[in-house]
A and B are shown apart, each in its own frame.
Chain A
Amino acid sequence: MTIRPDPTFHASPRLAMEAPPESFAYTLLLSPDFSKPDALAVIDVEPGSPTYSQIVHTVAMPNKGDEFHHFGWNACSSSLSPLSGHAFLERRYLIIPGIRSSRIYIVDTKPDPRQARIHKIIEPEEIFKKTGYSRPHTIHCGPDGIYVSTLGGGGKDGTDGPPGVFIMDCQTFEVLGRWEIDRGPQALHYDFWWNLPRDYMVTSEWALPPQFENGIVPEDLLSNKYGHRVHFWDLSARRNVQTIDLGANHQMALEVRPAHDPVREYGFLGVVVDTTNLEGSIWTWWREGGKFHIEKTATIAPEAASKEQLPPLLQGFGAVPPLVTDIDLSMDDRFLYVSCWGTGEMRQYDVSDPRKPKLSGSVHIGGIVRRTPHPNGRKYAGGPQMVEISRDGKRVYWTNSLYSTWDDQFYPEGMPGAEVMANAGADGGLELAGDYWVGFPQGYRAHQIRLDGGDCSTDSFCYPSA
């Protein structure tokens, strides 16, 4: 506990934007064949530094086969919530779940990120025993602890009971137990986020472990068996209050990105693929008259391709789907970034009018067919995937890997880890920075990025910017 609130906690999104820019980018490394332990890379992102865009420290884990995916902080700006009284926590520990092993690592980033080290390891058995869930995924620091979403239920293959959210103590990291009191019809899980002062949570659906752990199951996809619903919850009552089906053809509703300004009661959701036409789509949800509503507000078309240009999985379709695998919203709620992992494009939409996204910028890099190289001439395998935006909205970072076994199906030629950055114009527009290219050690892929001091997909705010 500290005497003053952590200087990286901000009451409103605007104050977060005005804060000093990021100096380090934490990036998860995974060993796709499980031959090496997964790791956390600390990357210097301070312009002008002699080690700019290089890994300056690596924390290797003591186990193999964890499969790192998403991660988050022990505490963020939500600690300034006038309700919770946690203002004196520190943004210090990274909570890193292994989605294959169900193990969770707590990494201490203080006093110097260049000396980050493992603080605690929570073994899978503790999670199984206390929650009945497995395969922990998304992390958010919440009003009464750290919230962790999971992809699996109990049992060996994670299908014994539905997956859900559990809570961990934000100081001792003890697993406290399940969050839900009444889950309603929710049976699949992926991402979640909330509006704290308005007291609601939104969750999305990917699939059950047998549908992703050994690769995408084409028969399940074509018979629309992946997740296609979105759930709205009463946060403090821990109750599902509304479930909306997007239509079974909208397969894999993944990232949930509510507006950062809590006075705005809307947000976005990315859907990977429409099985009727291979489109990717962006959905806007909002609350009006006490009810939640959602509609498809942008679509991204597939690109035609000949059979020999496509991996076996896609050869029957004669086209490459955009595959919207990640989206991220800038701190001022103005620009939505959309990763098209299949076609190799990062799109920027102006969402000033949230139900009418306007394409305002785009860069091509990688892609199943296009294979666009980086401006520095290097080959970029895979496509834009996990995306993170600087607090001030000027820099957009992303990596190329989706998930070990899926990478191999869509990009069978291999996928060396890559992380790039693009500069965003004040009024839109996106351009790749020629001097930002992170090379990763041989045999590692790169997944989610977290910026020191918080970023656009970690911090929740309790006061409006106005």
Chain B
Amino acid sequence: MLSFGLNVSVADWTVAGLWLAVIASGLYHGANPGMGWPLAVSAGLMERSSRALLMALWPLWAGHLLAMLLVMLPFALLVTLVQWQRPIQAGASLLVIGFGVFRLINQRHPRALARIRPTQLGLWSFAVAIAHGAGLMLVPIYLGLCRAADLDAGHTAAGRLINTNLGMAVLVSVVHSAAMIAAGGCAAWLVYRYLGLKFVARSWFNLDAVWAVSLILVGTIALVISLTDASHA
């Protein structure tokens, strides 16, 4: 009984930590100028209206959300293969690490991104999130949440599990994107209203290396957790 109680509290703590990671990664993505808040500033200034700035945030949000979903959905289906859960989790972690290493070595921006029209903000936001592996960063966190939910519910029928996992994917994407657009929107509003355009250049740090390292870090943590879990099981 005692050990069971302990398990639950550890699981709760893990779940809380994972949700925090979903929100934190959203804030991180949103504050990064490379994910689009300067486009909202530009829209506001070009149209000379704060409404144009707010309107630009919608497609940026939608594009990011869609990119997250697209990357997570295949995993939502995969994790229903309960007996393969650990290899899948390890594989996903390795994928994230691998993409991080690739970004670290090759920091060039795909030229295709520059071909997107300035008016296609949603498409741009989607493409830029995919190209930078923003969705991949969420996968290990998402898989952790799926496992926690699964442990909580006990082993259930595959059909229900798919629904649970799909629901979780949607929830994780929505929460993450909401945090992303909240941070980006705040940055855009501050620059538009108070800080001035000088801040666009001033705020823009080269996060390419940090971004790549973040991917590697998230992947490694997830890999270590899934391996230690496996050894305990």
Contacts and interface: CB of A to CB of B under 8 A. Distances in A.
Interface of A: 1-5, 7, 9-12, 15, 80, 82-88, 143-145, 171, 196-199, 236-237, 262-263, 462-464, 466
SS class, residues of chain A in contact with chain B: loop
A5, A199, A237, A263: which has the most chain B beta carbons within 10 Å? Answer: A5
B34, B38, B200, B205: which has the most chain A beta carbons within 10 Å? Answer: B200
Contacts of B36: 82
Contacts of A11: 197-198, 200-201
Contact of B206 (A4, A144, A462): A4
B46 A197 contact: yes
Interface residues of B, number: 32
A83 B204 contact: no
A83 B197 contact: no
B42 A3 contact: no
B42 A197 contact: yes
Nearest to B198: A15
A466 B41 CA distance: 12
Contacts of B108: 171
A84 B34 CA distance: 9
B42 A144 contact: no
B107 A3 contact: no
Interface string B82-120: 000000000000000000000000011101011111110
B89 to A, nearest CB: 32
B197 A236 contact: no
Given A85-B128, A87-B204, A262 B46 contact: yes
A236 B204 contact: no
B71 interface: no
B39 interface: yes
B24 interface: no
Interface in B198-218: 198, 200-201, 204-206, 208
A5 B117 CA distance: 23
Contact of B205 (A3, A144, A199, A464): A3
Contact of A84 (B37, B113, B208): B113
A143 B114 contact: yes
A201 to B, nearest CB: 13
A9 B42 CA distance: 16
A85 B34 contact: yes
Contacts of A5: 201, 204
A83 B40 CA distance: 11
Contacts of A87: 33, 201, 204, 206
Contacts of B200: 11, 80, 463
- Ranked nearest first, the 8 interchain pairs of A and B with the lowest CB-CB distance are A144-B114, A82-B38, A143-B114, A11-B197, A82-B39, A85-B109, A88-B206, A11-B200
B186 interface: no
